[in-house]
Copies of this chain bind each other. A is one copy, B any other.
């Protein structure tokens, strides 16, 4: 399914006057504060958030899954779904594949389809946390860390295959999340597991093309509930440091212990030039994989405050990091959920852009704590929704993507086309 430009325009027309009033009010407010709205819009247009191929279907928990219908049945349909999102918000112009769930059997065709929809292929992801049917070795007790060299060999080769699939599609990045760990004290020798993981990663790293990066993800627990080999950013950092200049740490917002100060981790990794990518989601308890910004929007803003500052300090453009949503859509329409997530990311990004950094720096130097807080809250409390709408309008998207999605009855059409029982591969 494709969205017709005409249909989108018709819908936008309905809200145009109200939007123009709202944006005029905001522009006046921003200009009074010395901020140029159009410059913010320019920055917003640069931020493109990759959509993972496995997030287009209904997600589930170990207790069950309740599919919504009309889910993409193959990779082409997944690319089409991302195309729908991008047509609406003009900010989802990338797709991130998960192998072996989404092996591109005809890479040229898939690439042409993506190009047509304005999409590029971001990081490719390997999967060594599940056994595939008829797989000769099992990952039950780990993959790159496994005590058995044959299992490690299999996992190494799988990662190298993933690189090859990515090359065929123009991807430049391999993203590795390892579930490897243990459920019980004593089950695994910590140091041996680290060393096996390191030497396995070194073999994969050796196969990495010169213009690629390798992203190493960390996570404290789940699916292992006593220990995880790469349990925190420090461990991921250690591995990247030993691997070489193409290895970077990937931060997934949900992969932290309760109360972790994630924004400080982001700042530290950027300071050491070790941050390579970001998986966005939100959570209240663990790796809940909820819609971005739905639980802790202020924390999201604080993280973007570090990202914006860190990129500026190195004069790096915003698109040099791998930005991706990594959420699970258990009770919402996955496409609606993704639209809400992208909007929340853009909002936090825009809020971070309007922090008065010069004033903040001065207040920090004087330890004027109350004023530092004011400056942060001034940015966060500003209502930038019409700025986002204007940015979308200027880029040819929908003023209000979620409403447009509903007015266009997209889910209805997808169910008609793909059936009510269509279930996407993935979690």
**Cβ of A155 to closest chain B Cβ, rounded Å:** 14
A221 touches B264 (CB 8 A): no
A295 touches B294 (CB 8 A): no
Q: With a CB–CB cut-off of 8 A, which chain B residues contact A140?
A: 66, 331, 367
Q: How many residues of A contact B (CB 8 A)?
A: 111
How far apart sit A232 and B179, CA to CA, in the bound complex (Å)?
Answer: 22
The residue that A186 contacts in the complex, of B28, B225, B372, B427, with Cβ under 8 A, is: B372
How far apart sit A51 and B371, CA to CA, in the bound complex (Å)?
Answer: 21
B130 touches A64 (CB 8 A): yes
B61 touches A223 (CB 8 A): yes
Residues 322-359 of chain A: 1 if any B CB is under 8 Å from the residue's CB, otherwise 0?
00000010111100110010000001000000000000
**Cβ of A180 to closest chain B Cβ, rounded Å:** 12
A212 within 8 A of B: no
How far apart sit A344 and B336, CA to CA, in the bound complex (Å)?
Answer: 31
A4 within 8 A of B: no
Q: With a CB–CB cut-off of 8 A, which chain B residues contact A404?
A: none
Given contacts A179-B63, A364-B147, A373-B340, contact A190 B268 (CB under 8 A): yes
**Cβ of A423 to closest chain B Cβ, rounded Å:** 13
> Which residues A20-55 have CB closer than 8 A to chain B?
21-22, 25, 28-29, 32
A188 within 8 A of B: yes
The residue that A302 contacts in the complex, of B141, B185, B366, with Cβ under 8 A, is: B185
Residues 289-330 of chain A: 1 if any B CB is under 8 Å from the residue's CB, otherwise 0?
111011111100010011000100100000000000000101
B364 touches A187 (CB 8 A): yes
> Which residues A171-197 have CB closer than 8 A to chain B?
179, 182-192, 194-195
**Cβ of A348 to closest chain B Cβ, rounded Å:** 11
A415 within 8 A of B: no
A117 within 8 A of B: no
A385 touches B375 (CB 8 A): no
Q: With a CB–CB cut-off of 8 A, which chain B residues contact A21?
A: 28, 32
A124 within 8 A of B: no
> Which residues A263-306 have CB closer than 8 A to chain B?
263-264, 267-268, 270-272, 283-286, 288-291, 293-298, 302, 305-306
**Cβ of A369 to closest chain B Cβ, rounded Å:** 5
A138 within 8 A of B: yes
A222 within 8 A of B: yes
A168 within 8 A of B: no
B284 touches A188 (CB 8 A): no
Residues 111-155 of chain A: 1 if any B CB is under 8 Å from the residue's CB, otherwise 0?
000000000000000000111000000111100000100000000
Q: With a CB–CB cut-off of 8 A, which chain B residues contact A364?
A: 147, 186-189, 192
B238 touches A272 (CB 8 A): yes
- Stretch from A5-13, A82-90, A157-165, A376-384 contacting the other chain: A376-384
Q: With a CB–CB cut-off of 8 A, which chain B residues contact A232?
A: 232, 234
A200 within 8 A of B: no
> Which of the listed residues A130, A139, A222, A257 has the most CB atoms from chain B within 10 Å of its own CB?
A257
A-B contact pairs, 17 of them (CB 8 A): A22-B29, A62-B328, A63-B129, A140-B331, A183-B290, A183-B332, A184-B290, A184-B291, A185-B376, A190-B268, A225-B284, A225-B290, A257-B258, A257-B260, A259-B284, A297-B380, A340-B370
Q: Sorted from nearest, which 9 A-B pairs have the closest CB atoms?
A: A234-B234, A190-B267, A225-B288, A66-B140, A383-B383, A186-B376, A61-B223, A64-B130, A141-B367
